[in-house]
Amino acid sequence: MTFTDRCKSAWHLNDSLLCVGLDPEADRLPDAFHGMPPLAAIESFCQEIVRSTAPFCAAFKPQVAHFSSIGAEPVLERICRFIRENHPDHLLILDAKRADIGSTALHYAAEAFDRYQADAVTINPYLGTDSIEPFLRRPDKGIFVLCRTSNPGGDDLQMQTLASGKRLYEHVAQMAAQTWNRHGQVGLVVGATYPSEVRIVRQHAIDLPLLVPGIGVQGGDLPQTVHAAATPDGGLFLNSSRAILYASPKEDWLGAAVEVARQTHEAIVNARGQ
């Protein structure tokens, strides 16, 4: 199955465009996990989130730094294996924002696709084509290239005007669609905090899947983003992390997380129908 086919299959699984981000922080876990060893608590917490939100989403996106900063890479391996074994039709996106050249890029690709068995990994394009090419040697795997990110500081570089008259983020979108996406393996990261720019990216990259953070705590405009970028097949993965993970610190934490996931899924469905 090609990466494009994997995306379409994931969108059709639950008729969902929701991606649940796994960004665990030991000091923010619900009260039920207090007193447990931190790594065991994180593993149990993430598995329960995955198991319970799976009916409402199309993808899961673990964030590498939230694990590696506390030496929890083996926990991340087990969580990824849990997703692959129990929810194999969901897309597994490793949020690592990797970029380098030569053998280092090859090792980053092996980390994402062999160690963690991810379907896709997030990539920083600043080093150019030769830093991206090693990730594209896996015909069944994909990359999501940072394009117009959801943070205000993204303006520092992404909004710079080039000699062509286009913004830098537009140039990235064009390169992704016209140069890098030779075998249907490339997507783009575009923040819901900038829905007008999501629309521009979609114009440059008509067929590329988009990974869209920013609809939860960051306050991105969900309906406008869906209207700007959704396609008949799906077209995008709208990520929500903290709003779902930390919906409640009390005994009702799991029910609260599921309810936020369900409401977000329904809001996306409603936006697609408008």
Token pair in block for residue 224:
């406008």
- Give me the pLDDT at residue 217, please: 67
Pairwise CA distance, residues 61 & 50, whole Å: 10
- For residues 243 and 21, give the distance between their C-alpha atoms in angstroms, rounded to a whole number: 10
- Count of Cβ atoms closer than 10 Å to residue 8 Cβ: 17
CA–CA gap between residue 269 and residue 263 (Å, rounded): 10
Mind listing the pLDDT tens digit for each residue in 11-44? 999 999 999 999 999 999 999 999 999 999 999 9
Q: Does residue 62 have a pLDDT over 70?
A: yes
Per-residue pLDDT tens for 101-151?
A: 989 999 999 999 999 999 999 999 999 999 999 999 998 999 999 999 988
Q: How many CA atoms lie within 13 A of 267 on its CB side?
A: 17
Give me the DSSP letters along 60-98: EEEBHHHHHTTT-HHHHHHHHHHHHHH-TTSEEEEEEEE
272 pLDDT higher than 80: yes
Q: Which residues are known catalytic residues?
A: 97
Q: What is the mean pLDDT of residues 249-269?
A: 97
Question: Residue 85's pLDDT band (boundaries 50, 70, 90)?
Answer: very high
Backbone angles phi, psi at 142, to 5 degrees: -130, 170
- pLDDT at residue 41 in the model: 97
Q: Is the pLDDT of residue 179 over 70?
A: yes
Could you give the C-alpha distances from 245 to 80, 97, 103, 123, in angstroms and in order?
Answer: 17, 21, 36, 24
Which is it for the CA torsion 38, 39, 43, 46, positive or negative? positive
pLDDT for 1 beyond 70:
yes
pLDDT for 118 equals 98
Residue 48, SS3?
helix
Contacts (Cβ under 8 Å, ≥6 apart) of 173: 147, 148, 188, 200, 201, 204, 205, 208
pLDDT band at 221 (very low <50, low <70, confident <90, very high): confident
Beta-bridge partners for 148 = 190
3-class secondary-structure state, position 170? helix
- Percentage of the chain surpassing pLDDT 90? 92
pLDDT in tens, 189-217: 999 888 999 999 999 999 999 999 988 66
Which pLDDT band holds residue 257 (cuts at 50, 70, 90)?
Answer: very high
Burial of 156 (0-12, 13-18, 19+ CB in 10 A): exposed
Overall size of the chain counted in residues: 274
Write the burial class of residue 14 (CB in 10 Å: 0-12 exposed, 13-18 middle, 19+ buried).
middle
Give Cα 113 distance to the centre of its chain: 15
pLDDT computed for residue 2 by the predictor: 87
- Domains of the chain, start order: 3-273 (3.20.20.70)
Band (152; pLDDT cuts 50, 70, 90): confident
